[in-house]
């Protein structure tokens, strides 16, 4: 009986992502400020946030009509809160239940929804545009592949990744958690093996150098078939 129960639990939670991300916020591994939850300096430093908000705002407002946006990995919502007004509906998703509960209490507009979902394991809401800002970089390749399989339901996908600013072998596999592939001198490239994402239009929207130019945070839009 015990052996069967263990197998069942493992089948329901094939990845450690939920527990890892809960630990990140509980132990404040990405830092802290006055709020209960903090998604790290990448979501709060003006030099990183303001240029990102500008290019995403421009992208959204140039579409034929305000889109339904799915923010996949919304974190503490310091960035998402600045984009809601440019959308028909903004659906913000994260894997940490307490974080989503906190966001629901603190952010409330008519066209805003929050959902607690595992991006790799759960069905995703319908929409026009999916945004993944520095999300995939924390996930294993198997999780990334599961997510990418679902992104074909969206016309537009905007992905931001923190990568080496030099030649590197993409998509070195990791265990999901706080860290990213930089320690392996790697980074996520959804166009490369093993993912090979197909898109009919690809545009780099933003590139922000870090660590004296050794690293870069790149935001790219993909128009899918």
The CATH number linked to 123 is 3.40.50.150
223/202 Cα distance (integer angstroms): 6
Q: Mean of the pLDDT values across residues 49-63?
A: 97
> Range of 38's domain?
2-223
199-224 pLDDT, tens digit each: 999 999 999 999 999 999 999 999 99
Q: List pLDDT tens digits, range 77-109.
A: 999 999 999 999 999 999 999 999 999 999 999
pTM (two decimals):
0.89
Peptide bond into 194 cis (omega under 30): yes
Please give the tally of structural domains in the chain: 1
Q: What is the mean pLDDT of residues 46-74?
A: 97
pLDDT of residue 30: 64
Please report which confidence band the pLDDT of residue 9 belongs to, taking 50, 70 and 90 as the band edges: very low
Q: Which residues contact 165 (CB under 8 A, 6 or more apart)?
A: 209, 210, 213, 214, 215, 216
Residue 8: Cβ-neighbour burial (10 angstroms; 0-12, 13-18, 19+)? exposed
Which structure tokens are listed for 65?
């009509």
Q: What is the mean pLDDT of residues 29-35?
A: 66
- Mean pLDDT over residues 70-77, rounded? 95
């Amino acid at each position: 009986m015990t052996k069967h129960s263990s197998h069942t639990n493992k089948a329901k939670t094939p990845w450690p992502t939920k527990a890892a991300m809960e630990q990140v916020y509980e132990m404040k591994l990405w830092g802290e400020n006055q709020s209960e939850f903090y998604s790290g300096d990448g979501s709060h430093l003006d030099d990183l946030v303001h240029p990102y908000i500008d290019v995403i705002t421009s992208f959204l407002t140039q579409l034929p009509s305000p889109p339904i946006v799915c923010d996949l990995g919304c974190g503490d919502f310091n960035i998402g809160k600045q984009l809601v007004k440019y959308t028909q509906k903004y659906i913000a998703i994260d894997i940490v239940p307490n974080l989503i509960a906190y966001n629901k209490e603190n952010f409330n507009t008519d066209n805003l929804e929050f959902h607690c979902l595992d991006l790799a394991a759960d069905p995703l809401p319908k929409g026009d545009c999916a945004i993944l800002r520095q999300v995939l970089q924390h996930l294993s390749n198997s999780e990334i592949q599961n997510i990418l399989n679902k992104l074909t339901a969206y016309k537009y996908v905007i992905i931001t990744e923190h990568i080496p600013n030099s030649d590197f072998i993409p998509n070195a596999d990791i265990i999901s958690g706080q860290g990213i592939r930089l320690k392996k001198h790697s980074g996520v490239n959804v166009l490369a093996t093993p993912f090979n994402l197909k898109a009919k239009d690809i545009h780099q929207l933003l590139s922000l150098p870090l660590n004296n130019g050794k690293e870069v945070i790149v935001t790219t839009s993909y128009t899918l078939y």
